Amino acid sequence: MRPRIIINAAMSVDGKIALRGGKRIKISDEEDFRRVHELRNSVDAILVGINTVILDNPKLLVKERYVKSPRNPVRVVLDSHLRIPEDARVLDGNAPTIIITTEDARERKLNAEIIKCGKGRVDLKCAMEKLYSLGIRSVLVEGGGTVIYSFLKEKLVDEISVFVGSIIIGGDAPTLAEGLGASSEDELIHLKLLEARALGSGVLLRYGVVYD
Ligand SMILES: NC(=O)c1ccc[n+]([C@@H]2O[C@H](COP(=O)([O-])OP(=O)(O)OC[C@H]3O[C@@H](n4cnc5c(N)ncnc54)[C@H](OP(=O)(O)O)[C@@H]3O)[C@@H](O)[C@H]2O)c1
């Protein structure tokens, strides 16, 4: 058994989720931030990859500015070799944090629960089963592109929400889905459009994933 898995991200019109080199950029506007914080408040866990922690250092909390009496879901980081910096904001103790790592990781004392799943790179199916066994029934995957693509390739995604901000970044900045990508048509990931609506200065797209 696994939790329900929702991907949420903000991208430019050309599909980029950060500046060239991976520097964070604000793509969402106030309307979208409100939607994201309401979505965060509705799930049991918010998950990101270790590169997002290193590059963006997010708190992954629900802001009171957007949600009255926030629940602050569990924060989950995929970090195969426990590279997380000690002063990462997700380790601030303001919400429970789980770091999912592998058998290869050296022992470290961190302000988080540490779970091991797989060797080399975190085994996502094992990770989702372990989260389920801890009572986590829904996970919001917030990025980055490498983690998003892995979840899609492993056929673990139930829904995708993408806010498309009215900007173009261009060049080789990180995209919504990184990883190896498809080199043939049969490797494509097919989506079903559930909703498309104007939101603030951009567009919100919501998809289901069609797995055969
Ligand atoms: N606009 C948005 O909505 C948004 C949201 C979040 C992030 N971002 C941007 O995304 C960029 C970071 O994305 P990224 O693609 O470089 O990194 P990422 O997806 O945040 O993290 C990828 C890393 O996670 C670890 N990982 C562990 N298990 C994994 C698995 N099964 N599958 C995939 N990864 C696994 C790997 O490192 P180890 O092998 O060391 O474990 C991998 O290199 C930043 O520029 C950030 O600003 C944008």
Q: Domain limits at 175?
A: 4-210
Secondary structure E strands in 26-128: 45-49, 74-78, 97-101, 113-116
Centre of ligand 1 to C-alpha 49, Å, is 4
**pLDDT for position 212:** 78
Specify the pLDDT at position 79.
98
Cβ atoms of 49 and 147 closer than 8 Å: yes
Q: Which atom of ligand 1 is nearest to the CA of 8?
A: 3
Q: What is the CATH number of the domain that holds 103?
A: 3.40.430.10
Write down the pTM of the prediction: 0.98
Ligand 1 site, residue 59, Cβ cutoff 6 A: no
Q: Could you tell me the mean pLDDT of each successive run of 10 residues in the chain, 212 residues long?
A: 98 98 96 98 98 98 96 97 98 98 97 98 98 98 97 98 98 97 96 98 98 84
The span from the CA of 124 to the CA of 134, in Å, is 15
DSSP-assigned beta bridge partners for residue 141: 7, 47
CB 208 within 8 A of CB 159: yes
Q: Tell me the CA–centroid distance for residue 50 and ligand 1, in Å.
A: 6
Ligand 1, atom 31: closest residue by C-alpha: 122
pLDDT of residue 107: 95
Residue-level pLDDT at 160:
98
Instruction: Please state the domain count of the chain.
Output: 1
